[in-house]
Amino acid sequence: MATRKTAGPSGLKTFYWAIGLVAVVGGVVLWLTLGDGGETASEPIELGEIGDQQLVELAQGVSWGDPDAPVTIMEFGDYQCPACRSFALEVKPQLDLAYIATGQAKLVFHDFPLDQHPHAFLAARAARCAGDQDRYHDYHDSVFRTQGTWFAMRSATGHFRELASDLGLDEGAFEACLESDRHADVVTANRQLGERLGVSGTPTIFVHPGVGQAQKLGGFQFLDIQRAMDRAAGN
């Protein structure tokens, strides 16, 4: 089974710079401030003016596979996005078999909650709250599998709690995390990082062969990634 872990900033700095992340002139857009920790954070928070180096330090993806794999497949995804659900449940299993389990590549997921999806930011935080109990990947899959159930709910908070219960998480710890602003800075930074890399929709996939320029793919199907992997291998 592929190794699963959070990708720390040091291991991904080379990847970000290979994509072509450049300094932004002037201040970044200031997003909604949701308080000082006493409220449930369900939208991006204000990070203020933050440089590329600081952003890379704060934005942390979650990875599947060998951290030393020669190729990085990077996804910017939204939990409420139907196409992201297809990627998670249909394309990713193929990547697991073909490239991740074999050590040829690792997959790194970055949150990119879209404004038109009101539950996406909270879903991203919920997954990271589950990650505090070492169950991020299981929770990630559960959120996508049940997307049809919670997609149109007025509030998805109760459903996200049920998923934690179904996975046997410490419900008190999970709820305390969910009802705070914990991880809101990381999810916000993930989205800002994607914006600086030219991401405008989800899922957006990059493939970096370890040296040279990373490639932003025009599609997200297995065949799109297979072709990029073939190019990375020189085929």
Strand partners, 208: 72
pLDDT in tens, 152-201: 999 999 999 999 999 999 999 999 999 999 999 999 999 999 999 999 99
- Min mean pLDDT across 10-24, 170-184, 204-218 is at 10-24
pLDDT in tens, 104-136: 999 999 999 999 999 999 999 999 999 999 999
Q: pTM for the whole thing?
A: 0.84
Residues 6+ apart with CB under 8 A from 24: 52, 196
By the 10 Å C-beta count (0-12 exposed, 13-18 middle, 19+ buried), 23 is classed as exposed
Give phi and psi for 125, each to the nearest 5: -65, -40
Average pLDDT, the chain: 87
Task: Catalogue all structural domains in the chain, each as residue range(s) with its CATH number.
Answer: 4-232 (3.40.30.10)
Is residue 207 within 8 A of residue 71, CB to CB? The reply is yes
Give phi and psi for 205, each to the nearest 5: -120, 135
Instruction: Report which listed range, 1-10, 20-29, 186-195, 205-214, is most confident.
Output: 186-195
CA–CA gap between residue 191 and residue 78 (Å, rounded): 10
